[in-house]
């Protein structure tokens, strides 16, 4: 309250003695005049009756006036030294505070009190009881001095004080023409003077401030003509601990706000408006509003709820109101998506505020003491990017449905003495599916029955599980974090939609794909995706267009980037800082002193920054599908990292991020699991063993995966290093990451980097990387192949190397296998004998069992069907033919040929 508003009437007058003196002087002058002309006057008085009457009446009038004046002066002097009063009008906010203070803290002698139900200062418990189970707390009553023109007397610090409430006229005020009765409150005292009364007023103000400092006041925009802020309610604020957010989100947001509020000087020095915007988004009932209020309470700030649904509000009054929001308060705009669905809906429903008016008003939200501005929404994707661009919205935080940690903490909060059961409660619930409000409602139902809360979880699940099945395809799901190569594998095992993932574990996916076991980075990411790791899920979300722009500018804006391939290598001003920094070229200007820069440097920079802004717009349109961004934060950051050396190239290739799924083979880099044995071994640089695998019947990569070291040794004939390496690779031995990584395909950036590290031909490096990768920037060869190729071409010029790569690595055709020399015809008698009957194909069975001569064949006991089967003559036809031949042989006389001596081998 300003001092000018306090009507302090003091009767202490310091001019009384001076007035008295001048009166006495006047009287003396009059007396001397009368004395000097006394004879004439006496004569007139004696003779003229008219004069006699005039003089007599004048003397009488003057005397009475003097007596009145002297009386007044004396009274004023006496009153000023013994009496003081303070008058307060009911328009002033201290009116209620003084009445409250006197009613509460002082005993009134008159005893005429006015009882009034207490409206404010409900505790949050009262609110919860009232809202959740409809149980009302007993109303509290407060007493104040009655306004019946009585004089109330009370004692304040030992001094008697008189309090009078006098009603005045009733006036009609405001746009709504509300009748309001004017009233004055007068405090007076006979002893102690105005000092006592001033003390009383000060004490009343500080008692009220003390009460309010422990409370959170919620202001709303009044719907009256003037649209000012008016206090809607005061309540005890929630503690930040009572709003259970995932991980350390609550404390990091609080720390961010605290840091901002303490950075006043920095904002003043840098000239940046001293404001900070936060957007809390996520499904309903996850604590967005509760957290804003808890944060305000923790920072001892009030909350100004901004509602735009007010017919009297227009762009100007909104801007003025935001500028004039009560000091030490945060401004909260709830469900901002409902206000302007699209920018084209230029006016919010039921209000005169336009979208651009809102943007301008938000830009004006700044104040001396720092202004925190919060927006909440359930649908971030519906927000116009201009509304949430940095500067208007500096921090965007998603509050998701309850994680296991939140579920445990909420259970422990309801049942502190059964906190050990919190884990069992959470383990029955899915993560990120049920809101905290739903859980709170459920636990309130069981607030005296922790066992029931545990037992009835299935019922909770039936009620709360989302009815809609997640129809996102597994391809889109995996693509959000760069794992779409495994989509076919998942589909092969019957998982085509996210909703079909069920309780899939990483080990299942690893069993399905050897390539995933080999690619340890991807496997780790897959594990995070399956577990719903918070950090990955943050990157999993779709990047809204404002974020797309922000990430692009963060990558390329500092320092001046190469805006196209032609710009690379000259004109850039240094290596970048930040997470996307490594690998930037063109740092020639870093050490150059400012005076050595071209005078056109500023112009060039401005042109570049405008070009950069155009590029960012182009990027935003490239990553849209049906008018909305369709790229995840993860995809975008990978893409920006791939092409961080060239903003134009980065934008030109951005369409692949949202392109349709490639159809057919060759559309993207092949997965190891789909390769032939030869191609797979080539990836590992071990293709010389391919023939041995083929001969042993292992023609595809998948057929090799199960082979143990003994088979590799015995059947394939591997030895030493080759045996050790292939055993580790085929078994995806996690203890040999150095080997496994050699099978992994490098991405575009790595391909380019490897070439650029060897040669300084930047333009050729792009072509080299393009040739060896698919549209998504995934390598078509392995790291082992890349290294081997570059080593083999180490002494060739860059152009020759870049040309050779296609022919050698991509157009490569498996060399013809050297033909084995034709085996010589066996010389054994049995072979010639069988050949005559066209049965030479089974001669090997006889030779192998040493049945090579006529004598052996005819010796006793004679050969039977079972004997023939035992030596390998397996078909019935061949067996019968041989038996017939044997009968015939036995009947024939012995010939010299038939008696030929058996060879040594027989």
Closer by beta carbon to ligand ATP, 245 or else 651: 245
Q: How many residues bind ligand ATP (CB under 6 A)?
A: 15
Supply the minimum distance, in Å, between the C-beta of residue 275 and ligand ATP. 22
- Interface with ligand ATP, residue 284, by CB under 6 A: yes
Supply the minimum distance, in Å, between the C-beta of residue 407 and ligand ATP. 11
Query: From the list 287, 357, 586, 746, which residue makes contact with ligand ATP (rule: CB under 6 A)?
Result: 287
Interactions with ligand ATP, residue window 421-460 (CB under 6 A): 436-437, 440
Q: Output DSSP code: residue 43.
A: H
Region binding ligand ATP by CB under 6 A among candidate stretches 166-174, 238-246, 497-505, 728-736: 238-246
Supply the minimum distance, in Å, between the C-beta of residue 441 and ligand ATP. 8
Closer by beta carbon to ligand ATP, 329 or else 440: 440
Q: What is the 3-state secondary structure (H, E, C) of 638-700?
A: HHHHHCCCCHHHHHHCHHHHHCCCCCCCCCCCCCHHHCEHHHHHHHCCCHHHHHHHHHCCCCE
Interactions with ligand ATP, residue window 351-390 (CB under 6 A): 376, 378
Percent of the chain that is helix, strand, coil (3-state, to 5): 50, 10, 35
Region binding ligand ATP by CB under 6 A among candidate stretches 287-295, 299-307, 336-344, 691-699: 287-295
Region binding ligand ATP by CB under 6 A among candidate stretches 288-296, 325-333, 556-564, 848-856: 288-296
Q: Which residues contact 726 (CB under 8 A, 6 or more apart)?
A: 684, 686, 689, 712, 718
Closer by beta carbon to ligand ATP, 242 or else 702: 242
Q: What is the 3-state secondary structure (H, E, C) of 769-785?
A: HHHCECCCCEECCCHHH
Closer by beta carbon to ligand ATP, 275 or else 288: 288
Closer by beta carbon to ligand ATP, 466 or else 872: 466
Closer by beta carbon to ligand ATP, 156 or else 235: 235
Region binding ligand ATP by CB under 6 A among candidate stretches 23-31, 269-277, 278-286, 758-766: 278-286
| Consecutive H or E run containing 530 | helix 520-531
Closer by beta carbon to ligand ATP, 340 or else 768: 340
- Among candidates 89, 101, 102, which has minimal Cα distance to 210? 101
Closer by beta carbon to ligand ATP, 436 or else 453: 436
Q: Give whole-number Cα distances, 134 to 121, 131, 436, 547, in Å.
A: 18, 6, 20, 43
State both tokens at 280: 């809390």
Q: What is the 3-state secondary structure (H, E, C) of 711-735?
A: HHHHCCCCCHHHHHHHHHHHCCCCC
Which residue minimizes CB distance to ligand ATP? 287
- Interface with ligand ATP, residue 243, by CB under 6 A: yes
Distance of CA 273 to the CA centre of its chain: 23
Supply the minimum distance, in Å, between the C-beta of residue 684 and ligand ATP. 51
Supply the minimum distance, in Å, between the C-beta of residue 410 and ligand ATP. 6
Residue 499 Ramachandran class (φ > 0 left, ψ -120 to 50 alpha, else beta): alpha
Closer by beta carbon to ligand ATP, 308 or else 845: 308
Q: Give whole-number Cα distances, 307 to 237, 330, 350, 429, in Å.
A: 21, 14, 11, 37
Supply the minimum distance, in Å, between the C-beta of residue 333 and ligand ATP. 12
Supply the minimum distance, in Å, between the C-beta of residue 759 and ligand ATP. 56
Q: Which residues contact 719 (CB under 8 A, 6 or more apart)?
A: 713
State both tokens at 612: 């950069």
Query: From the list 145, 237, 277, 285, which residue makes contact with ligand ATP (rule: CB under 6 A)?
Result: 285
Closer by beta carbon to ligand ATP, 13 or else 335: 335
Supply the minimum distance, in Å, between the C-beta of residue 530 and ligand ATP. 25
Residues 239/291, Cβ–Cβ less than 8 Å: no
- Interface with ligand ATP, residue 412, by CB under 6 A: no
Query: From the list 152, 235, 276, 288, which residue makes contact with ligand ATP (rule: CB under 6 A)?
Result: 288
Torsion of CA 602, 606, 607, 612, to 10 degrees: 140
What gap in Å lies between CA 620 and CA 547, rounded to an integer? 10
Region binding ligand ATP by CB under 6 A among candidate stretches 283-291, 471-479, 602-610, 624-632: 283-291
State both tokens at 2: 């300003």
Query: From the list 163, 245, 388, 518, which residue makes contact with ligand ATP (rule: CB under 6 A)?
Result: 245
Closer by beta carbon to ligand ATP, 243 or else 612: 243
Closer by beta carbon to ligand ATP, 330 or else 842: 330
- Interface with ligand ATP, residue 572, by CB under 6 A: no
Closer by beta carbon to ligand ATP, 212 or else 335: 335
Region binding ligand ATP by CB under 6 A among candidate stretches 155-163, 241-249, 833-841, 875-883: 241-249
- Among candidates 637, 653, 593, which has minimal Cα distance to 777? 653
Supply the minimum distance, in Å, between the C-beta of residue 288 and ligand ATP. 4
Residues 269/210, Cβ–Cβ less than 8 Å: no
Query: How many Cβ atoms are within 10 Å of 290's Cβ, its own excluded?
Result: 20
What gap in Å lies between CA 117 and CA 142, rounded to an integer? 6
Supply the minimum distance, in Å, between the C-beta of residue 428 and ligand ATP. 19
What gap in Å lies between CA 356 and CA 411, rounded to an integer? 45
Instruction: Round to the nearest angstrom and report the end-to-end CA distance of the chain.
Output: 125
- Interface with ligand ATP, residue 289, by CB under 6 A: yes
Query: From the list 188, 189, 227, 290, which residue makes contact with ligand ATP (rule: CB under 6 A)?
Result: 290
Supply the minimum distance, in Å, between the C-beta of residue 389 and ligand ATP. 22
Backbone angles phi, psi at 246, to 5 degrees: -65, 145
- Please state whether beta strands 216-221 and 302-305 pair in parallel, antiparallel, or not at all (unpaired): parallel
Closer by beta carbon to ligand ATP, 245 or else 313: 245
Residues 744/781, Cβ–Cβ less than 8 Å: no
Query: From the list 216, 218, 240, 244, which residue makes contact with ligand ATP (rule: CB under 6 A)?
Result: 244
3 state DSSP class of 637: helix
Closer by beta carbon to ligand ATP, 239 or else 428: 239
State both tokens at 905: 């081998």
Residue ranges that bind ligand ATP, judged by CB under 6 A: 243-245, 284-290, 376, 378, 436-437, 440
């Amino acid at each position: 309250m300003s001092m000018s508003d306090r009507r302090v009437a003091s009767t202490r007058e310091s001019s009384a003695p001076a007035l008295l003196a001048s009166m006495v002087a006047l009287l003396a002058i009059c007396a001397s005049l009368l004395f000097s002309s006394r004879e004439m006057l006496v004569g007139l008085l004696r003779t003229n009756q008219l004069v006699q009457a005039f003089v007599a009446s004048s003397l009488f009038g003057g005397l009475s006036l003097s007596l009145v004046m002297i009386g007044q002066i004396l009274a004023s002097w006496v009153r000023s030294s013994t009496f003081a009063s303070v008058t307060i009008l009911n328009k002033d906010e201290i009116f209620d505070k003084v009445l409250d203070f006197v009613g509460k803290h002082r005993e009134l002698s008159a005893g005429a009190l006015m009882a009034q139900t207490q409206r404010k200062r409900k505790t949050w418990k009262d609110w919860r009881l009232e809202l959740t189970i409809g149980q009302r707390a007993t109303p509290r009553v407060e007493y104040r001095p009655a306004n019946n023109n009585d004089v109330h007397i009370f004692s304040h610090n030992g001094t008697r004080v008189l309090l009078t409430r006098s009603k005045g006229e009733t006036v009609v005020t405001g746009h709504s023409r509300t009748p309001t009765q004017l009233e004055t409150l007068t405090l007076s005292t006979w002893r102690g003077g105005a000092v006592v009364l001033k003390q009383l007023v000060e004490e009343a103000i500080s008692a009220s401030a003390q009460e309010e400092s422990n409370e959170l006041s919620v202001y709303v925009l009044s719907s009256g003509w003037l649209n000012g802020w008016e206090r809607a309610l005061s309540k005890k604020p929630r503690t930040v601990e009572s709003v259970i957010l995932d991980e350390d989100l609550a404390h990091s947001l609080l720390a961010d706000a605290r840091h901002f509020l303490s950075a006043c000087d920095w904002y003043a020095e840098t000239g940046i408006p001293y404001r900070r915007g936060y957007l809390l988004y996520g499904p309903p009932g996850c604590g967005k509003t509760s957290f804003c209020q808890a944060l305000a309470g923790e920072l001892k700030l009030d909350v100004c709820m901004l509602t735009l649904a007010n017919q009297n509000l227009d762009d100007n009054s909104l801007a003025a109101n935001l500028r004039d929001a009560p000091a030490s308060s945060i401004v909260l705009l709830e469900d901002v998506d409902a206000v302007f669905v699209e920018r084209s809906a230029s006016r919010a429903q039921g209000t005169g505020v336009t979208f651009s008016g809102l943007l301008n008003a938000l830009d004006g939200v700044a104040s001396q003491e720092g202004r925190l501005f919060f927006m909440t929404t359930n649908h971030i994707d519906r927000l116009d990017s201009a509304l949430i661009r940095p500067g208007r919205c500096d921090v965007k935080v998603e509050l998701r449905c309850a994680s296991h940690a939140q579920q445990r903490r909420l259970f422990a909060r309801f049942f502190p003495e059964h906190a050990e059961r919190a884990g069992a409660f959470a383990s029955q619930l899915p993560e990120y599916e049920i809101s905290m409000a739903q859980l709170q409602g459920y636990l309130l139902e069981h607030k005296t029955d922790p066992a029931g809360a545990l037992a009835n979880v299935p019922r909770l699940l039936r009620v709360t599980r989302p009815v809609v099945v997640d129809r996102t395809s597994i391809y889109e799901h995996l693509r959000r974090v760069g794992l779409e190569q495994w989509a076919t594998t998942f589909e092969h095992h019957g998982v085509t939609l996210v909703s079909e993932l069920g309780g899939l574990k990483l080990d299942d996916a690893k069993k399905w794909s050897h390539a995933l076991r080999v690619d340890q980075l991807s496997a780790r990411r897959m594990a995070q995706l399956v577990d719903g790791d918070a950090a990955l899920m943050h990157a999993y979300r779709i990047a809204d267009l404002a974020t797309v722009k922000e990430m692009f500018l963060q990558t390329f804006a500092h320092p001046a980037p190469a805006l196209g391939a032609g710009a690379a290598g000259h004109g850039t001003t240094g290596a970048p800082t930040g997470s996307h920094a490594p690998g930037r070229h063109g740092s020639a200007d870093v050490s150059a002193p400012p005076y050595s820069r071209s005078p056109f440097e500023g112009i060039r920079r401005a042109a570049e920054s405008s070009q950069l802004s155009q590029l960012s717009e182009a990027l935003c349109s490239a990553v849209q599908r049906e008018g909305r961004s369709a790229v995840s934060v993860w995809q975008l950051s990978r893409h920006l990292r791939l092409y961080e050396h060239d903003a134009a190239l980065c934008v030109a290739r951005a369409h692949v991020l949202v392109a349709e799924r490639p159809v057919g083979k060759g559309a993207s880099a092949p997965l190891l699991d789909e390769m032939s044995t030869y191609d797979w071994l080539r990836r590992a640089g071990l293709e010389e063993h391919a023939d041995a695998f083929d001969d042993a019947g292992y023609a595809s990569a998948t057929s090799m995966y199960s082979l143990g070291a003994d088979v590799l040794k015995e059947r394939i004939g591997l030895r030493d290093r080759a045996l050790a390496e292939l055993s580790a690779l085929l078994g995806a031995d996690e203890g040999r990451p150095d080997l496994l990584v050699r099978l992994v395909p490098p991405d575009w950036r790595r391909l380019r980097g490897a070439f650029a590290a060897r040669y300084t031909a930047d333009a050729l490096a792009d072509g080299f990387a393009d040739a060896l990768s698919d549209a998504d920037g995934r390598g078509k060869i392995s790291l082992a192949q890349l290294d081997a190729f570059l080593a083999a071409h180490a002494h060739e010029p860059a152009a020759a190397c870049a040309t050779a790569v296609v022919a050698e690595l991509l157009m490569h055709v498996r060399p013809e296998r050297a033909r084995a020399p034709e085996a010589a015809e066996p010389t054994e008698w049995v072979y010639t004998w069988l050949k005559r009957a066209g049965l030479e194909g089974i001669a090997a069975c006889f030779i192998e069992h040493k049945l090579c001569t006529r004598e052996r064949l005819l010796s006793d006991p004679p050969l039977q069907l079972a004997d023939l089967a035992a030596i390998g003559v397996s078909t019935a036809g061949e067996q019968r033919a041989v038996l017939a031949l044997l009968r015939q042989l036995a009947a024939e006389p012995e010939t010299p040929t038939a008696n030929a001596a058996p060879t040594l081998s027989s």
